[in-house]
Amino acid sequence: MIFSTTRRWPFLQLVTAAGPKAKLSILNYHRVHPVIDPINPGEIDAERFTWQMELVANNFNVLTVGEAADLLAEGKLPDRSLCITFDDGYADNVEVALPILKQFSLRATFFIATGFLDGGRMWNDTVIESVRNFPAGYLDLSDQQLGQYQLDSWQDRHNAYSAIIREIKHLPQEKRQSLVDWVASRVPDGIDSGDLMMRSDQVRELHQSGMEIGGHTVTHPILSTIPDEQANHEIAEGKKQLEAITGGPVTVFAYPNGKPVQDYLPKHTDMVRKQGFKAAVSTEWGVSTTATDPYQLHRFTPWDNTPAKFMLRLIKNYV
C-alpha cells in the first residue's frame, strides 16, 4: 500500500508519550541535491526531501535541537517530538533545502564547519569529485596503497570513492590531506565541483530565516585523532566564528563524524560543555530520552525511499 505524502497518521498520538516519558527523534542530513546525483543515487534529493518534510510537518512536533534539549531537561518534551539537522555547511542546504523547509513552515538546525565557508571544500568531497572526473577505464592508485579500480559505470565510481574514503578517514589530518591532494592531482582535467559549501552570507540568511546555527568545528577533524589543545581550539573557534557571522549565540554542537569512542571521547564532551554549549549531537543511531546525556543526543539518517518506510521507521522510534 502506498501512503499519500499529505496523509496524517492520527494513531501516532496513541503510541507516543509526552513529558518525562517522551522520546526525541533527530534526523541527520548532509546534502540535499536538486536532482539525483548519479555517483550518489542513494543520497537525498529535492523530490524525496519534499515528501519527507511534508510527512514531518503533518505528523510531528518539530523543534530545533536547542529547544528540544531544554524541554528534555525539564521533562516537558511534547509527544512526537522531532528535530531536523544538517551537517557540514553545504550550499545546497540553503539553495535547495531551505525553500522546502519554508514551504512547510519548518525550522531546522544547521551544524556548520566554518573553515570551508566562502569557497572551501571538504577533503571527502575532493575525493568524490576526483573520482567523478577521472576518465573511464582503469584507475591505479596503488603507488599510495589506495587500490586499483575499474571505472566503467557510476556504481564503479561510487564504490571507488567509498573505498578510498574508508582507507584514509581516520589517518592523521596532515597525512590524509597529503593523500587527498595526491589523488586530486591525478585528474587530467582537474576538478570542477562548483561552490559546494555555503558562503558567510548564506549562513546569515539561515539565521535570519529563523533556523538554528550550531557548531561543527573549523576544519571538521575527527577529534579523537588530534591533540587535546587542537581539539579544544577547533570547538571554540568554530563557535566564535559562527557567532561573529550571525550576531547570535551558538549553543548546540555536532561532533565531526560523530561516533562515540571512535570519533570523540568523554574528554571532548567536557570540552563542548565548558565552551558554553548546552547540548550536542552524535551520529549514534537511536532516539533520545530524559535519560540521554544532553551532550550525546542520538540521530539517524532517513535513507528510506518511500513514504511508508519513512513513516514506519519513525513510528518505531516512539513505541
**Would you say 65 and 281 are in contact if contact means Cβ atoms under 8 Å apart?**
yes
Sequential pLDDT tens for the chain (319 residues): 344 544 665 555 655 667 767 899 999 999 999 999 999 999 999 999 999 999 999 999 999 999 999 999 999 999 899 999 999 999 999 999 999 999 999 999 999 999 999 999 999 999 999 999 999 999 999 999 999 999 999 999 999 999 999 999 888 888 999 999 999 999 998 887 668 999 999 999 999 999 999 999 999 999 999 999 999 999 999 999 999 999 999 999 999 999 999 999 999 999 999 999 999 999 999 999 999 999 999 999 888 889 988 888 888 887 7
Enumerate the domain spans of the chain: 29-119+197-318, 123-185
Segments of 81-237 assigned E as strands: 81-88, 109-112, 137-140, 148-151, 212-215
For residue 265, is it left (φ>0), alpha (ψ between -120 and 50) or beta?
A: beta
Does the domain spanning 29-119+197-318 belong to CATH 3.20.20.370? yes
- In this structure, the dihedral spanned by the alpha carbons of residues 34, 40, 43 and 45, taken in order and rounded to 10 degrees, is 20
**Would you say 109 and 64 are in contact if contact means Cβ atoms under 8 Å apart?**
yes
What pTM does this model have? 0.93
